[in-house]
Amino acid sequence: MSGGENARCFLFQNSVLPGHEPGAGAPQRASPEGSSTSMALQHLTDEQVQTWSRAQKDEWWFKNIYRGDMAQLSLRSAFTGFMLGGVLAATSLYIGGKTGISVGVGLTSVILAFAMFRIFASLGWAKDYTILENNCTQSIATAAGYVVSPLFSSLAAYMLVVDHIVPWWQMMVWMIVIAVLGVLVAFPMKRRFINEDQLPFPEGRACGVVLDSLYTGEGGEGMYKAKLLAKVAGGAAIYQAIISDGWMKLLQFKILRMDKWAGMTEPWTFHERLDQYYYGLAAKADIWIPKILGTDIRVLGLRLTLDAAMLGVGGLMGIAVATSCLLGAFINFAVLAPIMIQAGDIVQRVSPTGAVIPISRVEIVNQWSMWWGVAMMVAGSLTTLLAKPDLFLAVFKSFRRKAGKDTIGSDLLNGIEVPLWISYVGVPVFGVLAAWIAHEFFGVPMLMALISLPLIFVLTVICTNSMALTSWTPTGALSKITQFTMGAIDRSNPASNLVPAGMTSEIASNAANLLSDIKPGYMLGGKPRHQAIGHVIGVVAGVLFCVPLFFLLFVPKNAEGVRSTATIISDQFSMPAAVQWRGVAEIIANGLHSLPASALITMAIAAACAVVIEVIKMMTKGKFPLSSVAIGLGVVLPPESTFAMWVGAMIFFVMAKVYKTPGSQGWKRWVDGCEPICAGLISGAALMGIGNAIVNVLI
């Protein structure tokens, strides 16, 4: 779940696409104008997938599905995807900094793009926005959304470990190069996993089904979801503004001038931490302050916060994952941390400047708790990965050709597919370029960077198989393979394991996500070349929007105009993914002997419990309601955030129990509308929170 792994809630994941026998005649197609002509999404039967050669499958797709005459990567779809992707990437960075989770934006971008152009068409500004243009828009926006993950995982961890802020232009170059390398690695695999094996890619398939429903007479459903998202986002934005000091200062002092006529010196804001009202009263009336083993629960981070964005994240997580996070937070902050404070393993520190650093949630995590939380996440994710040998066997099977010649299909699709020579030339060129950048920008020995490159292929095949079957990319677990491998070679330089691990995992993740994005285009008859170009456009959009935002949110200038890595982790942004990456790097560099005995014992217990939990989950076929990775994540997240996520998940869990009838108004709003509501909560709160940071800089 953390460290670059994706947690996504998507609609129609288990829907079955309508079947169609190949050769039975051409289907009815939506017109190039994107009208509501009925069209059933077609796919091959299991028998045909197993027995047909790729040439036969390509021929069937070209004759029955391909829409070569329909607009796809147009100027308006590229511009819409670029802008929408930039905004959604900003929200992904904001949520990633808070939770370490990369939240998918595919279906959100589908609905938003459809609604935007419906509105523009009604105003006479845009007409005939085709289904493939919409698909291209979502592909661009989705690429922008997930390209930012290094900023809250491996890159942030690198900066924390070496205590150096990477220049903005180096961040941009690094992120673009490894993302483009992911595109180049993906396209040879596209012909195997999508054209030949016809693997499902559930999230991509969901986008294809939603797009088809929007353009085949069910556009009202899309507009309903868009309005639902907009209403929730508006409410979340208003709430976020009320609790934000910058927006309230702008309103009360700059617009209403209340500091002039009302005598106000500080703007009034509603407290996001609701318990602050009680503690204010307690200070005045000298009443009870709750403590655990003599430690004030506020020091432990046990606060009651109403965070709209976290409610939305919890809704996307689901009740099992959210409950696991809450359990991890409770065990750590309500049980173990007070014991360790009393035992003296967590203490006040003195900074290099001589200032006393009091015990706080961040200190608890950094001094002690991080180790058992990281142990649980790593052990749990690796157990899950190793329990799926098919993902590893697929490395050896993926390019074993079936009997039969592919010349017919190859000839048919030569002008549509991305030419393989581009990958065969581009992968080694960009691979060496990435290794050189890792050496020049981050101090990784050139040989170490080059040694890590062969792992890209292995990890990409594993990631792609996992994404194709489950919509889950195990990059958090896979990155540890590179991290420990590189660490075994060179323990003296943390960058030697951090940067290559970040590179290989991000390339694998980009490739797997790109193939998931291509799936709906394949279902709807789009050109793969256009989607490849669109993916690169999305990468550029995400980088251009989010690198400046990283400096604004996580490393702002202080009063002297100086930036510091000390601000990367804060009360607002706990950076759990970066904490996990840094923790593994420090274990490799310093060795386990540098940790307190209590931390070592707890790590061993946590790792064993993680293995037991994952084995029980496998034995019960996923019915066991706990996740070891999520429990570990709860250790490094602020407990107030885990509680808010659990509340969000519980709301949707209860509503799904109450409204069981598909098609009813309650079911339509709370079950079918899960993603629009959650996306509205996240985007409204995140964009207003980002705006608050900008306002504080300007006024």
User: pLDDT of 319-343, one tens digit each?
Assistant: 988 999 999 999 999 999 999 999 9
pLDDT exceeds 70 at position 401:
no
| DSSP single-letter state for residue 335 | I
pLDDT band at 476 (very low <50, low <70, confident <90, very high): low
| DSSP single-letter state for residue 417 | S
What was the pLDDT predicted at 483?
A: 75
Rounded Cα distance between 77 and 541, Å, is 13
Structure tokens at 31: 């017109």
pLDDT band at 435 (very low <50, low <70, confident <90, very high): very high
Q: Is 305 helix (H, G, I), strand (E, B) or coil?
A: strand
Nearest to 190 by CA among 438, 415, 495, 519: 519
What was the pLDDT predicted at 30?
A: 34
In this structure, are residues 320 and 625 in contact, taking their beta carbons and an 8 Å threshold? yes
Structure tokens at 178: 């490894």
Rounded Cα distance between 6 and 96, Å, is 10
Least confident among 13-22, 438-447, 568-577: 13-22
What was the pLDDT predicted at 596?
A: 84
Name which residue leads in pLDDT, 435 or 100: 435
Rounded Cα distance between 560 and 523, Å, is 55
Average pLDDT, the chain: 80
What was the pLDDT predicted at 652?
A: 94
In this structure, are residues 134 and 494 in contact, taking their beta carbons and an 8 Å threshold? no
How far are the Cα atoms of 99, 147, 193, 688, 698 from residue 618, in angstroms, in the given order? 26, 31, 26, 41, 53
pLDDT band at 105 (very low <50, low <70, confident <90, very high): low
pLDDT exceeds 80 at position 459:
no
User: How many residues comprise the chain?
Assistant: 699
Name which residue leads in pLDDT, 183 or 584: 183
pLDDT exceeds 70 at position 21:
no
pLDDT exceeds 80 at position 501:
yes
188-210 confidence digits (pLDDT tens):
778 777 887 787 776 777 777 77
pLDDT exceeds 90 at position 238:
yes
What was the pLDDT predicted at 420?
A: 80
What was the pLDDT predicted at 365?
A: 84
pLDDT band at 242 (very low <50, low <70, confident <90, very high): very high
| DSSP single-letter state for residue 592 | G
Q: Which residues have CB under 8 Å from 596's CB, separation 6+?
A: 345, 368
Rounded Cα distance between 575 and 569, Å, is 6
| Residue type at position 280 | G
Average pLDDT rounded to a whole number, residues 340-360: 81
DSSP-assigned letters across all residues of 279-292:
HHHHHHHT----EE
Nearest to 232 by CA among 156, 165, 133, 312: 312
Q: Is 387 helix (H, G, I), strand (E, B) or coil?
A: coil
Rounded Cα distance between 15 and 625, Å, is 24
What was the pLDDT predicted at 470?
A: 57
pLDDT exceeds 60 at position 398:
no
Average pLDDT rounded to a whole number, residues 87-111: 79
Average pLDDT rounded to a whole number, residues 139-163: 88
Rounded Cα distance between 247 and 264, Å, is 15
DSSP-assigned letters across all residues of 343-371:
HTSS--EE-TTS-EE---HHHHIIIIIHH
In this structure, are residues 200 and 469 in contact, taking their beta carbons and an 8 Å threshold? yes
| Residue type at position 238 | I
Note the pTM of the prediction, 2 decimals.
0.78
Burial class (CB in 10 A: 0-12, 13-18, 19+), 597: exposed
What was the pLDDT predicted at 579?
A: 83
* Residue 74 CB coordination number (10 Å): 16
Backbone angles phi, psi at 670, to 5 degrees: -95, -30
pLDDT band at 411 (very low <50, low <70, confident <90, very high): low
Burial class (CB in 10 A: 0-12, 13-18, 19+), 370: buried
What was the pLDDT predicted at 27?
A: 31
Secondary element (H or E) of residue 296: strand 295-296
Rounded Cα distance between 416 and 573, Å, is 44
Using the structure block, give the residue that is written with the tokens 């990059």: 475
**Over the range 346-367, which residues count as b (16 or more CB within 10 Å of their CB) and which as e?**
beeeeeeeeeeeebebbbbbbb
pLDDT exceeds 50 at position 32:
no
| DSSP single-letter state for residue 19 | P
Reduced 3-state DSSP string for 185-230: HHHHHHHHHHHHCCCCCHHHHHHHHHHHHHHCCCHHHHHHHHHHHH
Rounded Cα distance between 180 and 536, Å, is 7
What was the pLDDT predicted at 558?
A: 83
pLDDT exceeds 70 at position 471:
no
In this structure, are residues 418 and 528 in contact, taking their beta carbons and an 8 Å threshold? yes
What does DSSP say about strands 291-292 and 295-296: parallel, antiparallel, or unpaired?
Answer: antiparallel
Q: What percent of the chain has pLDDT over 70?
A: 86
In this structure, are residues 184 and 177 in contact, taking their beta carbons and an 8 Å threshold? no
Using the structure block, give the residue that is written with the tokens 């709906």: 520
276-292 confidence digits (pLDDT tens):
899 888 888 888 889 99
Q: What percent of the chain has pLDDT over 90?
A: 18
What was the pLDDT predicted at 330?
A: 95
Average pLDDT rounded to a whole number, residues 512-538: 86
What was the pLDDT predicted at 217?
A: 59
How far are the Cα atoms of 100, 118, 630 from residue 92, in angstroms, in the given order? 10, 26, 19
pLDDT band at 3 (very low <50, low <70, confident <90, very high): very low
Average pLDDT rounded to a whole number, residues 374-387: 77
What was the pLDDT predicted at 29?
A: 32
256-279 confidence digits (pLDDT tens):
888 888 778 888 888 888 888 998
Backbone angles phi, psi at 40, to 5 degrees: -90, 130
CA 297-298-303 angle, 5° bins: 95
pLDDT band at 530 (very low <50, low <70, confident <90, very high): confident
Rounded Cα distance between 152 and 154, Å, is 7
Rounded Cα distance between 133 and 128, Å, is 10
pLDDT band at 393 (very low <50, low <70, confident <90, very high): low
Q: Which of 66-70, 114-118, 179-183, 407-411 has the highest mean pLDDT?
A: 179-183
Find the radius of gyration of the CA atoms of the chain: 25
Q: How far is Cα of residue 257 from the mean position of the Cα atoms in its chain?
A: 41
Secondary element (H or E) of residue 6: strand 6-7
pLDDT band at 28 (very low <50, low <70, confident <90, very high): very low
Secondary element (H or E) of residue 103: strand 102-103
